[in-house]
Amino acid sequence: MTSYRKTELELNKAFDPQSCRHIMEGNTVVLHCHHYATLYTQLAMDCGMLDAKALMAECSEDTWEEFLREYFRSRGVSSVRERIALAEQSYAAAGLGRMRVTCASPESGEVTLDHSHLDEGWIKKWGHYKSPVNFIGAGYISALFSAVFDLPARSFAVTEAEAIVCGAPRSRFIVVAR
């Protein structure tokens, strides 16, 4: 029988009053409201010159994959179960919502968001929408799976199958290895 330690996220956080910047685990982070997040998401959706939705997801993936890998490495976390728990907590600590990884393997998985900062902010600003808008969350989920299973970036395709912004009670993401 395998025993697991209680996995609680412990973040090193600081505020630099000189630069007015927040620092989390040695990384400068930007805190912003749902109004700002919905605006740049709408800009990505309106962009016709390139696939800005994919770019937004990839930027999120790159940022979070590096963060999660370093967090796991610096604390010696190697158990898949513990990594998943810490990644779920990191999503919440960043103010992005409440995430549950309901199924996970190196080949596929499923993630639900009981709360989504972006979806709920979008609804407050513009109401429900006809298609999913949480490209940041999709990127985070791809990063989570890559970091948890020690696989390279872009190893997973993430599709939002149900979305709070579309009227679903929770968002549901399907993860498939590429």
Residue 128 lies in a domain: yes
Is residue 15 packed enough to be buried (19+ CB in 10 Å), middle (13-18) or exposed (0-12)? Answer: exposed
Residue 23 lies in a domain: no
pLDDT at 4 over 50: no
* For residues 85-102, average pLDDT: 95
When divided into structural domains, the chain yields a total of 1
Residue 162 lies in a domain: yes
Position 119 scores a pLDDT of: 96
The residue among 23, 133, 93, 90 whose CA lies nearest residue 101 is 90
pLDDT at 142 over 70: yes
**Looking at the chain, which runs of residues are DSSP E strands?**
13-16, 21-24, 27-29, 97-104, 108-116, 156-162, 171-177
Residue 49 lies in a domain: yes
The lowest-confidence range among 25-29, 53-57, 167-171 is: 25-29
For residue 22, name the pLDDT band (cuts at 50, 70, 90): confident
* For residues 109-133, average pLDDT: 96
The CA distance from 139 to 154, in Å, is: 9
Q: The CATH number of the domain where 64 resides is what?
A: 3.30.1380.20
Residue 127 lies in a domain: yes
For residue 6, name the pLDDT band (cuts at 50, 70, 90): low
Position 31 scores a pLDDT of: 67
Residue 156 lies in a domain: yes
Interval 36-50: pLDDT, tens: 889 999 999 999 899
For residue 103, name the pLDDT band (cuts at 50, 70, 90): very high
Higher pLDDT pick, 67 / 26: 67
CA distances from 18 to 14, 30, 97, 143 (A): 12, 15, 30, 32
Token pair recorded at residue 101? 């990884």
- Residue span of the structural domain in which 76 resides: 33-177
The CA distance from 10 to 113, in Å, is: 22
Residue 25 lies in a domain: no
The residue among 154, 150, 157, 155 whose CA lies nearest residue 69 is 150
pLDDT at 12 over 60: yes
The CA distance from 157 to 162, in Å, is: 16
Residue 40 lies in a domain: yes
Higher pLDDT pick, 109 / 22: 109
Q: What share of the chain is helix, strand, coil (3-state, %, to 5)?
A: 45, 25, 35
* For residues 24-47, average pLDDT: 85
Position 1 scores a pLDDT of: 37
